[in-house]
Amino acid sequence: MPAYAIIGGQWGDEGKGKVVDLLSEKADIVARFNGGNNAGHTVINNMGNFKFHLIPVGILRPNCIALIGNGVVVNPDAFAAELATLHESDVNTSNLIISEKAHLIMPYHIKLDELEERRRSEIGEAIGTTGMGIGPVYMDKTSRIGLRMIDLLDKNTLFHKLEVVLKQKNDVISKLYGGDPVDLDYSYERCLVWAEELASYIKPIEPVLYDALSSGKKIMLEGAQGAMLDLDHGTYPYVTSSSPSVGGACTGLGISPRDITGVAGVYKAYTTRVGSGALPTELHDEIGEFIREKAGEYGTTTGRPRRCGWFDGVAARYSSMINGFTSAILTRLDVLDGISPIRICTSYKYNGKQLTEFPADALILENCEPVYEDMPGWDKPTASVTSLDDLPQEALNYIERLSEIIGCPIDMISTGPGREEAIIVKPIF
């Protein structure tokens, strides 16, 4: 059995961490392919309560290789901190591999992220990034001036590479933003420390993946962020700078689309978003507040309050279409316990016309009004339920309607944050 992808179907934080933790029981490899420590994947199981940012969740499975692909951007300090937390919980991290081609997040990327956000916020255009240097590091990757893991390992050429790139960065930092330049010697010293800390993990990943695929091993692809934050397909410019959609798994790991036999889209039973950008179904009332407080909708990485709203069926159908989801996984159903009616956005109204396709223009989306279909809520709790038979009929009806809208079967329903709090409708991995 080849590779199986778990992809965020909305604007991130759908519960991918919980899902990968549960479904990776039989995985031989769990691989991250995009993003960096802007991600925050929460896992709660009998080993503890974890917040993963960079390391694949599969590290908690003793015989599973946790692989960080070339499409991921690595902040070595964040990596070391995460490793230390795992060691405190006695997690074995010897099965961890980082692609030699993964790009390095340098302190100047973080600085540039902050300076650019400040500049944009002065003109009311901030993206609301996580401030982890994600945009700037991917910019350097496409500008072909990035530093990669493999560069850390060659001390003879590293200083020169750093000198060249810092000249450019410091011109931008000081001349464009009026910021303080970054010191070359300090940066080089940091790189030497990182090289020491990371050397044993940095490897070519292609043979590992190829051997696994040819010998029928099972690979789970752990997406970060969500399709609506995709650089190409998301709500541009209010997106991240990588490809959280399934296509990103191929380029971010060096595997063929032919090896991916299943793609599961993870959806919350409602919608959340952190940072700027339109969210047509956003609730600015007591229901939105109720959901945020009940569900603890605060960012796993930044602690920022998440914007909450009803399920956006237009966005959900669109993300399913661009990813070719073979299954959908619904999380946080329990959060809707006690709310009635429950609204589902099935189309938008724009300029007096009905829109059923997700618009590409951020300004159009900003001015879209959601058109809702109301469904009765349920008065029996769904929290911690593990069998479909124990769900109230109204909840089953809601799930059925979401499945129709998304356009694929809902094969797993999560009813709580813990590993075991889920209904497996059909085994998918």
Cβ neighbours of residue 171 under 8 Å, at least 6 residues apart? none
Lay out the site mask for ligand GDP across 285-324 (x = CB under 6 A, - = otherwise).
----------x----x------------------------
Interface pick for ligand GDP out of 416, 423, 425, 429 (rule CB under 6 A): 416
417 binds ligand GDP (CB under 6 A): yes
Residues contributing to the site for ligand IMO (CB under 6 A): 8, 12-13, 38-41, 127-130, 132, 134-135, 224-226, 229, 240-241, 274-275, 300
Minimum Å distance from CB 387 to ligand IMO?
A: 28
By CB under 6 A, residue 331 contacts ligand GDP: yes
Q: Binding to ligand GDP by residue 148, rule CB under 6 A?
A: no
Tell me the closest approach of the beta carbon of residue 377 to ligand IMO, in angstroms.
26
How far out from the chain centre does Cα 390 lie?
A: 31
Single out the residue of 13, 21, 100, 312 in contact with ligand GDP (rule: CB under 6 A).
13
Ranges within 286-305 binding Mg ion (CB under 5 A)? 300
Q: Which amino acid is at 299?
A: G
Q: Are strands 260-268 and 327-331 parallel, antiparallel or unpaired?
A: parallel
Fill in the per-residue mask, 1 to 20: x = in contact with Mg ion (CB under 5 A), - = not in contact.
------------x-------
Provide the 3-class DSSP secondary structure of residue 398. helix
According to DSSP, residue 172 is labeled: I
- DSSP characters over 239-298: S-SS--SHHHHHHTTT--GGGEEEEEEEEESSEEE-SSS--TTB--SHHHHHHHHHHT-B
Q: Which residues are catalytic?
A: 13, 41
Q: How many residues bind ligand GDP (CB under 6 A)?
A: 22
Give, as ranges, the residues between 40 and 69 that touch ligand GDP (CB under 6 A).
40-42, 44
d(CA 277, CA 286): 21
Residue with Cβ nearer ligand IMO (53 or 217): 53
* Smallest separation, CB 265 to ligand GDP (Å): 12
Shortest separation between residue 210's beta carbon and ligand IMO, angstroms: 27
Element (H or E) spanning 139, and its range?
helix 134-143
Return d(Cα 318, Cα 233) in angstroms, integer: 9
Q: What pairing do the DSSP bridges indicate for beta strands 410-414 and 422-424?
A: antiparallel
> What's the burial of 297, exposed, middle or buried (CB within 10 Å: 0-12/13-18/19+)?
buried
Report the residue number whose CB is nearest to ligand IMO.
275
208 vs 197: CA distance, rounded Å: 22
What minimum distance in Å lies between the beta carbon of 145 and ligand GDP?
30
Please identify, using beta-carbon distances, which residue of 41 and 317 lies nearer to ligand GDP. 41
Residue from 17, 136, 247, 359 touching ligand GDP (CB under 6 A): that is: 17
The C-alpha atoms of residue 124 and residue 322 are separated, in whole angstroms, by: 31
What type of residue sits at position 196?
Answer: E
